Amino acid sequence: MIARESQRSFPLHRGSGVPLYHQIQQRLLEQIRSGKLKASEPLPSIQKIAARMGVSPMTVRQAVRSLCELGVIYSRQGKGTFISGMKAVKDFRRVLSFTEEMRARGATPRSRVLSFRLQLPGMETREALALRKRERVFRLRRIRFADSIPMGIECSCLPESLCPDLLQVFDPATSLYRTLEERYGICLTVSDEMVEVGKASAEEAKYLRIAPNAPVFQFTRVSFLESGKPVEHVRATYRGDRYRIVNRLTRSKQQRFGVAAPA
């Protein structure tokens, strides 16, 4: 339940420039993270939250919708909205960095660098990035944390030619995507991503603080500029107990009724 004490501790700041729905989203996330709202329990009704927060139901509905998109809560038709816990969401509908994903759900992102160097790529990376035979890449391997919990291990490769001084200017504890955009004008707009289910190796288990052979998600991603040029090849392993996959599928009218699309 949204206690009145919570409202006094976390008042809405109406003149801050931060949308009210986002402030409400963050209040609810804080209560889920602290355990005041527990997994499988129902979320208070939109009308009750609106009355206690002093806002319109429409504002609360927008906050609740954003939490549903993050996978933190879910709806059961005719029964209400329930807490699904704090699994992180890998949203295949948007190109987001780990930092952006974690901040979107109210978590604090952090990285521990395992290696960061310039080297010749393997065959898979060279083909994915369409590189010449002796063209080198920056290879950045990091453990990604959310609120001090290890979530995954990412290995990202980028062509040296696109950002030749990356080793000198990039702090690998910060957002790679932000540095690429702000310093080099490299904006990743499209990604092809494949996910498989696997088992954690002994090394992965140690870094992620899970049991060896525990289930994990294994991601392979190639990201592109708007022009279609491939600029990043990523191999990543994420904890199966801390991640959920979100996608949106559509079905055309022709598919629904078996009508052939016009040529």
Reduced to 3 states (helix: H, G, I; strand: E, B; else coil), residue 190 is strand
Cα–Cα distance, 63 to 10 (Å, whole number): 16
pLDDT tens readout for residues 215-260: 999 999 999 998 899 999 999 999 887 776 666 556 666 655 555 5
Question: Whole-angstrom Cα distance, residue 211 to residue 11?
Answer: 41
Q: Which of 91-105, 180-194, 221-235 has the lowest mean pLDDT?
A: 91-105
Phi and psi, residue 130, nearest 5°: 55, 50
Quote the pLDDT of residue 223: 93
The pLDDT score that the predictor gives to residue 22 is 87
Confidence of residue 59 (pLDDT cuts 50, 70, 90): very high
- Average pLDDT on 75-104 reads 67
Give mean pLDDT, residues 163-172. 93
Q: In sequence order, which residues have a C-beta less than 8 Å from that of residue 206 and are 6 or more positions away? A: none
pLDDT 10s digits, 123-148 = 999 999 999 999 999 999 999 988 77
pLDDT for the residue numbered 106: 66
> Regarding the domain delimited by 88-246, which CATH topology (the fold level of the hierarchy) does it fall under?
Chorismate lyase (3.40.1410)
- With both helix axes pointing from N to C terminus, report the angle between 57-70 and 20-34 in degrees, rounded to the nearest 10: 50
Residue 8 pLDDT > 50, yes or no?
no
Output the average pLDDT for the chain: 82
Question: pLDDT tens-digit profile of 194-210?
Answer: 999 999 999 999 999 88
Could you read off the pLDDT of 104-118 as tens digits, one per residue?
666 778 889 999 999
Residue that wins the pLDDT comparison between 87 and 169: 169
* Interval 3-9 mean pLDDT: 42
- Tokens found for residue 3: 């206690």
- CATH class of residue range 4-83: mainly alpha
**Domain range annotation of the chain:** 4-83, 88-246
Q: In the prediction, which pLDDT does 163 show? A: 94
CA distance 184 to 228: 17
Measure Cα distances from 259 to 173, 250, 251 in Å.
52, 16, 12
Please tell me the predicted confidence (pLDDT) of residue 1: 44
3-state secondary structure of 48: helix
Q: Find all residues with CB under 8 Å of 168, minimum gap 6, and list them.
A: none
Torsion of CA 82, 88, 93, 98, to 10 degrees: 150
Q: Please, how many CA atoms are within 13 Å of residue 180, restricted to the half-sphere of its CB?
A: 22
Q: Residue 149 pLDDT > 70, yes or no?
A: yes
The pTM is what? 0.61
